Amino acid sequence: MTEETIKNDTALGERAMDKIEKQQTQRKSTKRISKAQRIKEEQARNQEILRVLEENYTEAGTELDYTNPFELLIATILAAQCTDRQVNKVTPGLFAKYPGPEEMVTLTDEELGVIIHSCGFYKTKSRNILQTCRILLAEYGGQVPDNMESLIKLPGVGRKTANVVMSNVFGKDAIAVDTHVFRVSNRLGLANAKDVLNTEKQLMENIPKNKWSEAHHWLIHHGRRVCKARKPDCPNCFLNHVCKYYNNGQMSKK
Protein backbone atom coordinates (compact mmCIF):
# COMPACT_ATOMS: atom_id res chain seq x y z
CA MET A 1 0.00 0.00 0.00
CA THR A 2 1.45 3.35 -1.05
CA GLU A 3 1.72 6.30 1.25
CA GLU A 4 -0.80 8.15 -0.92
CA THR A 5 -3.36 5.34 -0.65
CA ILE A 6 -2.98 5.35 3.12
CA LYS A 7 -3.53 9.14 3.20
CA ASN A 8 -6.64 8.84 1.02
CA ASP A 9 -8.08 6.08 3.21
CA THR A 10 -7.46 8.12 6.34
CA ALA A 11 -9.17 11.18 4.84
CA LEU A 12 -12.13 9.06 3.80
CA GLY A 13 -12.38 7.60 7.29
CA GLU A 14 -12.27 11.04 8.89
CA ARG A 15 -15.00 12.34 6.58
CA ALA A 16 -17.18 9.35 7.41
CA MET A 17 -16.66 9.96 11.14
CA ASP A 18 -17.52 13.65 10.68
CA LYS A 19 -20.70 12.67 8.90
CA ILE A 20 -21.72 10.24 11.62
CA GLU A 21 -21.01 12.81 14.35
CA LYS A 22 -23.02 15.42 12.48
CA GLN A 23 -25.94 13.03 12.12
CA GLN A 24 -25.79 12.16 15.82
CA THR A 25 -25.76 15.84 16.80
CA GLN A 26 -28.67 16.51 14.48
CA ARG A 27 -30.66 13.61 15.94
CA LYS A 28 -29.98 14.84 19.47
CA SER A 29 -31.12 18.37 18.72
CA THR A 30 -34.24 17.11 16.87
CA LYS A 31 -35.02 15.04 19.98
CA ARG A 32 -34.49 18.09 22.19
CA ILE A 33 -36.74 20.19 19.99
CA SER A 34 -39.48 17.59 19.89
CA LYS A 35 -39.34 17.15 23.70
CA ALA A 36 -39.50 20.91 24.21
CA GLN A 37 -42.29 21.07 21.66
CA ARG A 38 -44.19 18.32 23.47
CA ILE A 39 -43.88 20.11 26.82
CA LYS A 40 -45.11 23.32 25.19
CA GLU A 41 -48.09 21.55 23.69
CA GLU A 42 -48.93 19.90 27.03
CA GLN A 43 -48.78 23.26 28.78
CA ALA A 44 -51.04 24.83 26.17
CA ARG A 45 -53.47 21.93 26.49
CA ASN A 46 -53.52 22.20 30.29
CA GLN A 47 -54.17 25.93 30.04
CA GLU A 48 -57.04 25.32 27.67
CA ILE A 49 -58.54 22.69 30.04
CA LEU A 50 -58.38 25.12 32.96
CA ARG A 51 -59.76 27.99 30.89
CA VAL A 52 -62.77 25.94 29.75
CA LEU A 53 -63.40 24.55 33.24
CA GLU A 54 -63.30 28.03 34.75
CA GLU A 55 -65.60 29.39 32.07
CA ASN A 56 -68.19 26.69 32.76
CA TYR A 57 -67.93 26.38 36.53
CA THR A 58 -67.27 29.93 37.70
CA GLU A 59 -69.56 29.56 40.67
CA ALA A 60 -68.37 26.10 41.74
CA GLY A 61 -67.69 25.69 45.43
CA THR A 62 -68.08 23.00 48.04
CA GLU A 63 -71.58 21.56 48.14
CA LEU A 64 -71.38 20.81 51.84
CA ASP A 65 -73.27 23.21 54.07
CA TYR A 66 -71.23 24.77 56.90
CA THR A 67 -70.80 28.04 58.72
CA ASN A 68 -67.41 27.60 60.40
CA PRO A 69 -64.24 25.43 60.27
CA PHE A 70 -65.56 22.95 62.84
CA GLU A 71 -68.74 22.31 60.87
CA LEU A 72 -66.84 21.83 57.61
CA LEU A 73 -64.40 19.46 59.30
CA ILE A 74 -67.19 17.29 60.68
CA ALA A 75 -69.23 17.48 57.46
CA THR A 76 -66.20 16.40 55.42
CA ILE A 77 -65.56 13.42 57.72
CA LEU A 78 -69.21 12.46 57.31
CA ALA A 79 -68.99 12.85 53.52
CA ALA A 80 -66.56 9.93 53.14
CA GLN A 81 -68.38 7.27 51.08
CA CYS A 82 -71.54 9.37 51.25
CA THR A 83 -73.10 12.10 49.12
CA ASP A 84 -72.88 15.76 50.10
CA ARG A 85 -76.65 15.94 49.77
CA GLN A 86 -77.14 13.26 52.40
CA VAL A 87 -74.62 14.91 54.73
CA ASN A 88 -76.47 18.21 54.31
CA LYS A 89 -79.64 16.54 55.51
CA VAL A 90 -77.99 15.35 58.71
CA THR A 91 -75.71 18.23 59.73
CA PRO A 92 -78.23 21.05 60.38
CA GLY A 93 -79.86 19.09 63.22
CA LEU A 94 -76.51 17.88 64.52
CA PHE A 95 -74.87 21.32 64.59
CA ALA A 96 -77.96 23.00 66.03
CA LYS A 97 -77.75 20.80 69.10
CA TYR A 98 -73.98 20.25 69.22
CA PRO A 99 -72.38 23.34 67.67
CA GLY A 100 -68.79 22.74 68.76
CA PRO A 101 -66.42 20.07 70.10
CA GLU A 102 -67.36 20.86 73.70
CA GLU A 103 -71.00 20.04 73.08
CA MET A 104 -70.30 17.13 70.79
CA VAL A 105 -68.09 15.26 73.26
CA THR A 106 -71.07 14.98 75.60
CA LEU A 107 -72.41 12.34 73.19
CA THR A 108 -71.46 8.69 73.35
CA ASP A 109 -70.34 6.83 70.23
CA GLU A 110 -73.73 5.15 70.14
CA GLU A 111 -75.72 8.38 70.49
CA LEU A 112 -73.79 10.10 67.74
CA GLY A 113 -74.07 6.93 65.66
CA VAL A 114 -77.86 7.17 65.77
CA ILE A 115 -77.78 10.78 64.51
CA ILE A 116 -75.35 10.14 61.65
CA HIS A 117 -76.57 6.65 60.80
CA SER A 118 -77.80 7.60 57.31
CA CYS A 119 -74.31 8.78 56.26
CA GLY A 120 -73.00 5.21 56.37
CA PHE A 121 -70.04 3.74 58.29
CA TYR A 122 -71.63 5.40 61.28
CA LYS A 123 -69.72 3.40 63.91
CA THR A 124 -66.29 4.37 62.56
CA LYS A 125 -67.38 7.91 61.79
CA SER A 126 -68.86 8.55 65.24
CA ARG A 127 -65.75 7.13 66.93
CA ASN A 128 -63.48 9.29 64.74
CA ILE A 129 -65.56 12.44 65.17
CA LEU A 130 -65.65 12.16 68.96
CA GLN A 131 -61.96 11.40 69.17
CA THR A 132 -61.27 14.37 66.89
CA CYS A 133 -63.38 16.59 69.17
CA ARG A 134 -61.39 15.45 72.22
CA ILE A 135 -58.11 16.24 70.48
CA LEU A 136 -59.37 19.65 69.35
CA LEU A 137 -60.24 20.45 72.97
CA ALA A 138 -57.07 19.03 74.49
CA GLU A 139 -54.55 20.35 71.98
CA TYR A 140 -56.03 23.24 70.03
CA GLY A 141 -58.26 25.07 72.48
CA GLY A 142 -61.34 23.76 70.71
CA GLN A 143 -60.27 25.30 67.38
CA VAL A 144 -59.62 23.52 64.10
CA PRO A 145 -55.91 23.74 63.19
CA ASP A 146 -55.15 25.35 59.84
CA ASN A 147 -52.24 23.24 58.65
CA MET A 148 -51.85 19.88 56.98
CA GLU A 149 -49.48 18.41 59.57
CA SER A 150 -51.94 18.88 62.45
CA LEU A 151 -55.08 18.14 60.49
CA ILE A 152 -53.99 14.74 59.21
CA LYS A 153 -53.26 13.62 62.77
CA LEU A 154 -56.96 13.89 63.59
CA PRO A 155 -58.86 10.59 63.38
CA GLY A 156 -60.89 10.32 60.18
CA VAL A 157 -58.96 13.13 58.53
CA GLY A 158 -56.80 12.27 55.53
CA ARG A 159 -55.07 14.57 53.06
CA LYS A 160 -58.28 15.07 51.11
CA THR A 161 -60.27 16.27 54.13
CA ALA A 162 -57.35 18.39 55.32
CA ASN A 163 -57.06 20.05 51.90
CA VAL A 164 -60.81 20.69 51.76
CA VAL A 165 -60.70 22.38 55.16
CA MET A 166 -57.53 24.34 54.44
CA SER A 167 -58.73 25.69 51.12
CA ASN A 168 -62.37 26.36 51.97
CA VAL A 169 -62.14 27.89 55.41
CA PHE A 170 -58.57 29.06 55.73
CA GLY A 171 -58.16 30.29 52.15
CA LYS A 172 -54.98 28.26 51.65
CA ASP A 173 -53.96 27.05 48.22
CA ALA A 174 -54.56 23.31 48.25
CA ILE A 175 -55.81 20.59 45.95
CA ALA A 176 -57.92 17.94 47.59
CA VAL A 177 -57.94 14.82 45.44
CA ASP A 178 -61.17 12.93 45.96
CA THR A 179 -62.58 10.24 43.70
CA HIS A 180 -63.90 12.78 41.14
CA VAL A 181 -60.73 14.85 41.00
CA PHE A 182 -58.65 11.68 40.65
CA ARG A 183 -60.77 10.25 37.84
CA VAL A 184 -61.38 13.43 35.84
CA SER A 185 -57.85 14.83 36.03
CA ASN A 186 -56.32 11.54 34.94
CA ARG A 187 -58.80 11.14 32.10
CA LEU A 188 -58.20 14.65 30.88
CA GLY A 189 -54.45 14.27 31.12
CA LEU A 190 -53.96 17.01 33.70
CA ALA A 191 -52.34 14.18 35.65
CA ASN A 192 -51.07 10.77 34.72
CA ALA A 193 -50.85 8.88 37.98
CA LYS A 194 -52.04 5.64 39.49
CA ASP A 195 -52.63 6.94 42.99
CA VAL A 196 -54.05 9.92 44.80
CA LEU A 197 -50.80 11.26 46.22
CA ASN A 198 -49.04 11.39 42.86
CA THR A 199 -52.14 12.87 41.25
CA GLU A 200 -52.06 15.63 43.86
CA LYS A 201 -48.35 16.26 43.19
CA GLN A 202 -48.84 16.40 39.42
CA LEU A 203 -51.85 18.68 39.68
CA MET A 204 -49.80 21.02 41.84
CA GLU A 205 -47.22 21.11 39.06
CA ASN A 206 -49.69 21.51 36.21
CA ILE A 207 -52.07 24.02 37.74
CA PRO A 208 -51.00 27.53 38.83
CA LYS A 209 -50.96 27.73 42.63
CA ASN A 210 -53.56 30.48 42.80
CA LYS A 211 -55.99 28.18 40.96
CA TRP A 212 -55.52 25.02 43.04
CA SER A 213 -58.58 25.43 45.25
CA GLU A 214 -60.88 26.50 42.44
CA ALA A 215 -59.62 23.78 40.11
CA HIS A 216 -60.49 21.22 42.79
CA HIS A 217 -64.12 22.40 42.69
CA TRP A 218 -64.21 22.60 38.88
CA LEU A 219 -63.00 19.00 38.56
CA ILE A 220 -65.50 17.76 41.14
CA HIS A 221 -68.35 19.54 39.36
CA HIS A 222 -67.30 18.12 36.02
CA GLY A 223 -67.03 14.63 37.50
CA ARG A 224 -70.50 14.82 39.00
CA ARG A 225 -72.22 16.32 36.01
CA VAL A 226 -70.44 15.12 32.87
CA CYS A 227 -67.40 12.92 33.40
CA LYS A 228 -69.16 10.31 35.50
CA ALA A 229 -67.32 7.19 36.60
CA ARG A 230 -69.29 4.62 34.64
CA LYS A 231 -70.68 6.65 31.78
CA PRO A 232 -68.76 9.78 30.91
CA ASP A 233 -70.78 11.87 28.46
CA CYS A 234 -67.84 12.41 26.08
CA PRO A 235 -69.75 13.31 22.91
CA ASN A 236 -71.39 16.22 24.71
CA CYS A 237 -68.43 17.18 26.88
CA PHE A 238 -67.08 20.69 26.32
CA LEU A 239 -63.59 19.36 27.03
CA ASN A 240 -63.52 16.53 24.50
CA HIS A 241 -61.26 18.49 22.13
CA VAL A 242 -58.48 18.46 24.73
CA CYS A 243 -59.24 15.23 26.61
CA LYS A 244 -56.64 12.47 26.36
CA TYR A 245 -59.08 9.73 27.34
CA TYR A 246 -61.47 10.74 24.58
CA ASN A 247 -58.87 11.46 21.93
CA ASN A 248 -56.93 8.28 22.63
CA GLY A 249 -60.04 6.37 21.67
CA GLN A 250 -60.73 4.91 25.10
CA MET A 251 -64.42 5.53 24.55
CA SER A 252 -64.63 3.42 21.43
CA LYS A 253 -63.18 0.46 23.34
CA LYS A 254 -66.07 0.55 25.82
Instruction: Give the residue with the Cβ less far from ligand SF4, 174 or 227.
Output: 227
Among residues 19, 65, 160, 195, the one annotated as catalytic is: 160
Closest CB 233 distance from ligand SF4, rounded Å:
6
CA 10 – CA 207 distance, rounded (Å): 57
CA 111 – CA 41 distance, rounded (Å): 56
* Residues making contact with ligand SF4 (CB under 6 A): 187-188, 226-227, 232-234, 237, 239-240, 243, 245-246
Instruction: Give the residue with the Cβ less far from ligand SF4, 87 or 188.
Output: 188
Provide the CA 16 distance to its chain's centre, in angstroms. 53
Residue 180: half-sphere exposure toward Cβ, Cα within 13 Å: 19
Instruction: Give the residue with the Cβ less far from ligand SF4, 111 or 233.
Output: 233
Closest CB 29 distance from ligand SF4, rounded Å:
35
| Alpha helices per DSSP H over the chain | 3-56, 69-78, 84-97, 101-104, 109-116, 122-139, 148-151, 159-169, 179-188, 196-206, 212-225, 244-247, 250-253
Closest CB 143 distance from ligand SF4, rounded Å:
39
Is 233 one of the annotated active-site residues of the chain? no
Instruction: Give me the count of residues in the chain.
Output: 254
Closest CB 35 distance from ligand SF4, rounded Å:
25
Instruction: Give the residue with the Cβ less far from ligand SF4, 172 or 228.
Output: 228
Is 146 one of the annotated active-site residues of the chain? no
Q: Annotated active-site positions, please?
A: 160, 178
